[in-house]
A and B are shown apart, each in its own frame.
Chain A
Amino acid sequence: ETGVTQTPRHLVMGMTNKKSLKCEQHLGHNAMYWYKQSAKKPLELMFVYSLEERVENNSVPSRFSPECPNSSHLFLHLHTLQPEDSALYLCASSQTGLAGDPYEQYFGPGTRLTVT
């Protein structure tokens, strides 16, 4: 495996279900991100983990719960979602440097989530 992988690629869940999205990066990076991409809207940053510590929680509802057990893996646990949560969920990774050096982020293919 190379780059950033995400599973599953597609997910349909009811509003009362609990599911998890998985992301794995094979680039040796030490920062990982979750983004939400909806039609006609810019990518929205949800969570950032740097050196396995959460450094950003961008006012995301508590029905989304991230987990970063190590620098290569990132999870997004989902429960009691709403139909408006249907979107493409993207994982990304990057290096981190001193004072937030502008390292590029590398994205996975995304999980297309549909909440019914």
Chain B
Amino acid sequence: EDQVTQSPEALRLQEGESSSLNCSYTVSGLRGLFWYRQDPGKGPEFLFTLYSAGEEKEKERLKATLTKKESFLHITAPKPEDSATYLCAVQAMNTGFQKLVFGTGTRLLVSP
């Protein structure tokens, strides 16, 4: 069964204090791994798609990396506006459509 585990469950950082969020996955052949950001009371906002081990993508203070077992979302010098829940999801090779399996997310709080 395809599975996604995110850690930590919650993370509190000071503004400017860099850190990483982890997404470990078990899937029968990875078609794609997705990162989303979700603010309270809103729907998830798409950030990145990673397709194969070794791939990296960046957007402002965020950088996502991928290995064969896990993905990291690195946050460099975070600001309070980066506070949100970050969700990871995978799509397996054996699905005929865009079925995503999500983790429970990491709640990030960045204090000024």
**Interface positions of A (Cβ within 8 A of B):** 4, 6, 31, 33, 40-43, 45, 48, 50, 55-56, 90, 92, 94, 96, 99-110, 112
Q: Are A109 and B43 in contact (CB under 8 A)?
A: yes
Residues of A within 8 A of B99 (CB): 45, 48, 56, 100
Q: Are A109 and B42 in contact (CB under 8 A)?
A: yes
Q: Are A48 and B44 in contact (CB under 8 A)?
A: no
Bound complex: CA A106 to CA B44 (Å): 8
- Closest CB of chain A to B71's CB: distance in Å? 14
Residues of B within 8 A of A6 (CB): 43
Bound complex: CA A92 to CA B42 (Å): 12
- Since A42-B101, A107-B43, A110-B43 are in contact, a sample of 10 more A-B pairs with Cβ atoms closer than 8 Å, ordered by chain A residue number, is A4-B43, A6-B43, A33-B98, A42-B102, A42-B103, A43-B87, A56-B97, A90-B43, A100-B31, A100-B91
Residues of A within 8 A of B34 (CB): 102, 104-105
Of residues 30 to 49 in B, which have CB atoms within 8 Å of A's CB atoms?
31-32, 34, 36, 41-46, 49
**Interface positions of B (Cβ within 8 A of A):** 4, 31-32, 34, 36, 41-46, 49, 51, 87, 89, 91, 95-105
Residue ID in chain B nearest A49 by CB atoms: B97
Bound complex: CA A50 to CA B98 (Å): 9
Residue ID in chain B nearest A108 by CB atoms: B43
Residue ID in chain A nearest B51 by CB atoms: A102
Bound complex: CA A12 to CA B105 (Å): 27
- Closest CB of chain B to A45's CB: distance in Å? 6
* A-B residue pairs in contact (CB < 8 Å), sample of 30: A4-B43, A6-B43, A31-B98, A40-B104, A42-B4, A42-B101, A43-B87, A43-B102, A45-B99, A45-B100, A48-B98, A50-B97, A55-B96, A94-B98, A100-B91, A100-B97, A100-B99, A101-B98, A102-B32, A102-B49, A102-B91, A104-B46, A105-B34, A105-B46, A105-B100, A107-B44, A109-B42, A109-B43, A110-B42, A112-B41
